[in-house]
Amino acid sequence: MAENEQLIADIMVAQQRLQRLFAYDRSDPLFNSHLTLTQIKILMLLARHGTVSGGELARMLGVGLAALSGMIDRLVAQDLVARTEDLRDRRVRRIGLTRVGSELIGGIFDAGMEKQRKLLSRLSADELRLIAQATELLVRAAADEYVSEDGPEIRDPRCQQ
């Protein structure tokens, strides 16, 4: 077990180094967005869960409805999210990404993918096969972890096989 712990520590250190190297790239849309961390969290949650009620979103963020209302107001003013009436209950307001919000959060996600693609393109076919196998093992372990915690449904189709 000591060898496994050392290997895990080595992998974690290498991942931290890789994240620091990626962090030097200031062309990332994340750095150009002028959003707060909480606003980014809101956009990410909406990208993952789709349109949700204010109460659901407040619970996901761990904040009260009053605090959430101000955050959403600022995102609405930037045309990143929209409030709509719930079709089943007119008292409920649903919150979802606008086209602009979807494009922004998609650009943030895609920027990371493009960095990774560029990096992977520098590797040989044998190295890529090794990374593909390791990545699949991580995906399986993550799926096992999150399915057991959250139930069998994974809403984001990008997480399914």
Does 66 score more than 50 pLDDT?
Answer: yes
Report field, pTM of the whole predicted structure over 0.85: no
DSSP string of 86-130, one letter each residue: -SS-TTPEEEEE-HHHHHHHHHHHHHHHHHHHHHHTTS-HHHHHH
Spatial distance between the Cα atoms of 82 and 68, rounded to a whole number of angstroms: 13
Asked whether residue 79 falls in the same domain as residue 98, the answer is yes
**Per-residue pLDDT reduced to its tens digit, 85-121:** 878 877 888 999 999 999 999 988 888 788 889 899 9
Spatial distance between the Cα atoms of 39 and 112, rounded to a whole number of angstroms: 19
Asked whether residue 27 falls in the same domain as residue 86, the answer is yes
Asked whether residue 26 falls in the same domain as residue 102, the answer is yes
Asked whether residue 43 falls in the same domain as residue 62, the answer is yes
Asked whether residue 102 falls in the same domain as residue 158, the answer is no
Residues 115-134, mean pLDDT to the nearest whole number: 93
Handedness of CA 150, 151, 156, 160 (dihedral sign): positive
Residues 116-137, mean pLDDT to the nearest whole number: 94
Q: Average pLDDT, whole number, for the chain?
A: 86
Asked whether residue 79 falls in the same domain as residue 136, the answer is no
**Per-residue pLDDT reduced to its tens digit, 5-21:** 999 999 999 999 988 88
Asked whether residue 61 falls in the same domain as residue 93, the answer is yes
Edge-to-edge strand list for the sheet holding 93-97: 52-53, 93-97, 81-85
Asked whether residue 13 falls in the same domain as residue 53, the answer is yes
Spatial distance between the Cα atoms of 122 and 128, rounded to a whole number of angstroms: 9
Provide the domain limits for residue 155. Answer: 123-161
Asked whether residue 79 falls in the same domain as residue 114, the answer is yes
Domain count, the chain: 2
Dihedral, 143, 149, 151, 156 alpha carbons, nearest 10: -50
Output the domain CATH number for residue 55.
1.10.10.10
Position 143, amino acid: A
Asked whether residue 127 falls in the same domain as residue 113, the answer is no
Asked whether residue 71 falls in the same domain as residue 10, the answer is yes
